[in-house]
Amino acid sequence: MVMTNGFNQNNPVRGGNWNGTFQIDYTKPIGKNGRIDIGERTYFIQFKSENQPTIQYFNQDEQPETILKNKFRFTQQVHGLYANYANQWKKTGIQVGLRGEYFGYEGFVYQYNAGVNNGYFNLFPTLFVSQKISTHEDLNFNYSRRVNRPNFFQLIPFIDVTNPLDTSMGNPGLKPEFIHATEITYSNQFGNQNTFMGSVYYQYTNNLIQRFRRFNPDGTTFSQNRNLATGQTYGMELTTKMNLLKWWDATINLNVFRNIIDGSNVEGNLGTRGFGGFAKLVTNAKLPSGWHAQLTGNYYPRAAVAQGSIAPYGNIDIALKKSFMKNLVNLTVNATDIFNTLQTETQYNLYPFYNQNVLRKNLTRTIGINLQIRFASKSMRNAEAPKRMQTKKEKEKESKNRDENLKKDDGGGDDNSGGGNGR
């Protein structure tokens, strides 16, 4: 319920969905180290939603709010067939794969009496090559073409009037993003179990999903996710872990990148270029009496978005942990954002027409206590978890983290993250 200028608004939403998944995978070993994987995955979802908005002016009865009334339904299906080959020859490893995917989407927006249809068939190749340079050094190259489909919050066409001066709405006509990603990584283990990893990467995105804000003559604004023509990001990431003392280690991660965004398909002069990045420090210390401490710090410098930039921000978290009864009982105390600095401020600069700052601040400073009790036999307590190699999916996840370079915005109105990534 919202109270604004002498009236109350209610906007309850009802709806439902059902979905189903079918998946089959087959693996055949080839020789000593090789294998072939093939499989198929089908995903189907049917969704419908309808809101029942009402408005009640001061000293009057509650009545339907027809302006906000809407009903939305959609059906989405994804069929993907993949094949993957992997092998290892002495110091060289390779994985190569191809996925063919059919995607179909049909929706209907009753408020506009209009249907929305979108579909494609596309091929998505992947390539991973690893080369062991020496006992402690490795070089890796990977390329992948991926798809990032819009999520529910980005699609649903209900108007959010929580703030009448700054309304927003989902966009049922959003198309998926298609992403080409390339990365080269060098890793080295040196000294007393110290590690260094350096990467250079490039990513090109078609149909980039990013929030577009419209400034109205009366001073109000309206925002909605739109498909921009293209987005590019390229940069370098460095990570090192150092054992400073027997009881103290630190991991430092630095990422510097440049974004190039072209939104001329939405508005003639919409686009920007700019640098961004982040820095992260994680340090662990063994304290007396069996206590362990961890401090985590994050810093995000100014980053470019289509219509302006995100101001710098950061946060610091701390945690303490102690185990009892031969690790059967674990006590953890953690505090997040201890200085209450985690927030996003989007600065829209559309000179000479409009300039606007939007500050979003959620509840981020918290204190938590966790007590974990395990019940296990002595043999299970003494057993060590087996080491495993990094999987293809984990390598793809590292590459997908670059998507966030182009995903900064003020975060209002809906969730800006993608709803479905191609396998």
Confidence at residue 391, expressed as pLDDT on a 0 to 100 scale = 52
Confidence at residue 28, expressed as pLDDT on a 0 to 100 scale = 95
- If we measure between CA atoms, which residue out of 224, 144, 37, 184 comes closest to residue 421? 144
pLDDT over 70 at 1, yes or no: no
Q: What is the average per-residue pLDDT within 342-359?
A: 80
Mean pLDDT (the chain, rounded): 85
Query: What does pTM read for this prediction?
Result: 0.79
pLDDT over 50 at 285, yes or no: yes
pLDDT for 404-417, tens place per residue? 777 666 555 454 44
CA distance 231 to 209: 9
- pLDDT-derived band at 299, boundaries 50, 70, 90: very high
Q: Which amino acid would we find at residue 387?
A: K
Q: What is the average per-residue pLDDT within 88-94?
A: 93
Confidence at residue 411, expressed as pLDDT on a 0 to 100 scale = 54
pLDDT over 80 at 382, yes or no: no
- pLDDT-derived band at 400, boundaries 50, 70, 90: low
Q: Which residue has the higher pLDDT, 146 or 327?
A: 146
Q: What is the average per-residue pLDDT within 337-348?
A: 91
- pLDDT-derived band at 315, boundaries 50, 70, 90: very high
pLDDT over 80 at 195, yes or no: yes
Q: What is the average per-residue pLDDT within 208-227?
A: 87
Confidence at residue 376, expressed as pLDDT on a 0 to 100 scale = 62
- If we measure between CA atoms, which residue out of 333, 263, 249, 348 comes closest to residue 291? 333
- CA–centroid distance for 131 within its chain: 30
Distances (CA, A) of 184 to 130, 236, 303, 321: 10, 10, 24, 37
Q: Tell me which of 48-62, 78-92, 271-285, 316-330 is least confident.
A: 48-62
pLDDT over 70 at 307, yes or no: yes
Which helix (H) or strand (E) is 330 found in, with range?
strand 329-336
* Contact present, 106 and 116 (Cβ < 8 Å): yes
| Phi/psi-derived region of residue 382, left when phi > 0, alpha when psi is between -120 and 50, beta in every other case | alpha
pLDDT for 266-283, tens place per residue? 988 888 898 999 999 999
* Beta-bridge partners for 264: none
- pLDDT-derived band at 389, boundaries 50, 70, 90: very low
Question: Which residue blocks in 156-253 are alpha helix, DSSP H?
Answer: none
- The Cβ-side half-sphere exposure at 265, using a 13 Å CA radius, reads 13
Confidence at residue 130, expressed as pLDDT on a 0 to 100 scale = 96
Burial 131-161 (b: 16+ CB within 10 A, else e): eeeeeeebebebbbbbbbbbbeebbbbbbbb
Collapsing DSSP to helix, strand or coil, 351 comes out as coil
Confidence at residue 385, expressed as pLDDT on a 0 to 100 scale = 45
Q: Is the Cα torsion angle 264, 268, 270, 273 positive or negative in sign?
A: positive
- The Cβ-side half-sphere exposure at 300, using a 13 Å CA radius, reads 17
